[in-house]
């Protein structure tokens, strides 16, 4: 039997994406490029285990907002915020199973540009987001920021979170997403990380005593 994709080489493995058997070469070349690979595919999982992580230094600096410094101390001091933002993304991917890494990166990047404009100029200019699915992701993240500030207001009497801190947290989120993704067009490596990292629960904003040492790193 020949491969269901190239129809030339001999098939050797079952591909859930095409519901047929394909050759290893097509699997390697088309994985997460033209194929919508299922997260439970054993060959995808094996590839991720042996795949070298992407280096942020090899990516476009503009995509990573290199002009914004995010220190380790900031991450530890704002662990609740980072977890809340990441949980907001996990809620989005659970609500829309069609989302890919590229969609999340696009939505968070757009949000980050909006907050960067606010921090640098004081202008509330929302960077346009084209598609409804990406708008939903951005809205989930924005709502989490709103809830975070409301929680601060309730516990300490006023909102401590500054716009510049939101910006740095979003920049960290962008960098983490790029680092966790394979970079292929249909990659869902970051999506799968989010689902595994955050089991479903009522709120992404946990009280200090409910949070252990779960620092998320790119």
Task: Say which residues have a Cβ less than 8 Å from residue 164's Cβ, sequence separation at least 6.
Answer: 119
Q: Is residue 48 over pLDDT 50?
A: yes
Quick one: tokens of 188? Answer: 């869902």
pLDDT of residue 201: 60
Note whether 90 and 195 are within 8 A (CB): yes
d(CA 218, CA 147): 25
List, for residues 121-178, the tens digit of each pLDDT value.
987 777 888 899 999 999 999 999 999 999 888 887 767 899 999 999 999 999 999 9
Q: Which helix (H) or strand (E) holds 180?
A: helix 163-180
Helix (H) / strand (E) element for 159: namely none
Spatial distance between the Cα atoms of 26 and 162, rounded to a whole number of angstroms = 49
Closest CA to 16 of 45, 30, 44, 37: 37
pLDDT value of residue 1: 87
Predicted pLDDT at 86: 96
Query: Across the chain, what does the average pLDDT equal?
Result: 89
Radius of gyration of the chain from its Cα atoms, rounded to whole angstroms: 19
d(CA 196, CA 90): 9
Q: Measuring CA to CA, which residue among 82, 74, 92 is closest to residue 205?
A: 82
Decide: 42 and 53 in contact? Cβ < 8 Å. Answer: no
Does residue 208 register a pLDDT over 70?
no
Q: How far is residue 70's CA from residue 150's CA, in Å, rounded to a whole number?
A: 24
pLDDT, residue 92, reads 96
Give the pLDDT band of residue 204 (cuts 50, 70, 90): very low
Report how far residue 205's alpha carbon sits from residue 207's, in angstroms, rounded to the nearest whole number.
7
- Looking at per-residue pLDDT, the higher value among 68 and 156 belongs to 68
Over the stretch 2-27, which tens digit does the pLDDT of each residue have?
Answer: 999 999 999 999 999 999 999 999 99
212 pLDDT more than 70: no
pLDDT > 70: percent of the chain: 91
How far apart are the C-alpha atoms of 210 and 151, rounded to whole Å? 14
- Residue that has been written with the tokens 């995010």 in this structure: 70
Q: What is the pLDDT of residue 159?
A: 75
The more confident residue out of 70 and 51 is 70
The pLDDT of residue 207 is above 70: no
Residue 206 has pLDDT above 70, yes or no: no
pLDDT band per the 50, 70, 90 thresholds, residue 216: low
Report the greatest alpha carbon distance in the chain. 70
In terms of Cα–Cα distance, which of 115, 119, 137, 141 is closest to 127?
115
Nearest by Cα to 74 from 192, 175, 207: 175
Which tokens sit at 82? 């980072």
DSSP-assigned beta bridge partners for residue 2: 10
What is the predicted pLDDT for the residue at 160?
86
Q: What is the mean pLDDT of residues 53-73?
A: 90
């Amino acid at each position: 039997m020949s491969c269901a994709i190239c129809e030339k080489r001999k098939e050797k493995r079952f591909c859930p994406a095409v519901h047929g058997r394909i050759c290893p070469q097509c699997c390697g070349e088309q994985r997460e490029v033209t194929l919508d690979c299922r997260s439970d595919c054993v060959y995808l999982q094996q590839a991720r285990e042996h795949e070298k992580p992407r280096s942020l230094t090899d990516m476009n600096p503009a995509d990573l907002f290199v002009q914004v410094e995010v220190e380790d101390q900031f991450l530890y001091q704002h662990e609740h915020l980072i977890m809340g933002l990441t949980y907001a993304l996990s809620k989005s991917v659970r609500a829309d199973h069609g989302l890919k890494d590229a969609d999340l990166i696009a939505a968070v990047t757009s949000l980050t540009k909006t907050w960067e404009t606010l921090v640098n100029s004081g202008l509330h200019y929302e960077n346009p987001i084209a598609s409804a699915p990406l708008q939903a992701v951005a809205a989930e993240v924005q709502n989490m920021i709103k809830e975070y500030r409301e929680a601060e207001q309730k516990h300490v009497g006023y909102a401590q979170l500054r716009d510049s801190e939101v910006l740095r947290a979003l920049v960290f989120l962008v960098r983490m997403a790029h680092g966790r993704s394979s970079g292929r067009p249909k990659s869902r490596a970051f999506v799968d990380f989010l689902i595994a990292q955050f089991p479903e629960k009522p709120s992404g904003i946990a009280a200090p005593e409910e949070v252990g040492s779960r620092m998320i790193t790119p």
